[in-house]
């Protein structure tokens, strides 16, 4: 299980869930399934973290 940040594509609500790899995630605000994983973290370099850890210099 992992704690993952999500953003609802319908209402814009950001939230986190503890999920298994095959769990269906619903927005707690509008109950939409149209959510995307977002990556948060400190990035040492240019811009914000894209979640592509093989291309960044440190996401912690």
Higher-confidence position of 54 and 14: 14
pTM, two decimals, is 0.64
Number of neighbouring beta carbons within 10 Å of residue 21? 6
pLDDT tens column, 6-38: 999 999 999 999 998 888 999 999 999 999 999
Residue spans of the domains in the chain: they are 1-60
Tokens of 11: 């209402």
Residue 40 pLDDT > 90: no
Interatomic CA distance for residues 17 and 37, integer angstroms = 10
CA trace torsion 47, 51, 53, 16 (10° rounding): 120
Q: 1-60, what's its fold?
A: Rubrerythrin, domain 2 (2.20.28)
Identify which of 13, 16, 14, 5 has the alpha carbon closest to the alpha carbon of residue 41: 5
């Amino acid at each position: 299980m992992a704690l993952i940040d999500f953003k609802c594509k319908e209402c814009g609500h950001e939230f986190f869930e503890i999920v298994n790899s095959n769990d269906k995630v619903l927005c707690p605000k509008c109950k939409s399934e149209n959510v995307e994983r977002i990556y948060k973290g400190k990035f040492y370099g240019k811009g914000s973290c894209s979640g592509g850890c093989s291309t960044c210099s440190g996401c912690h």
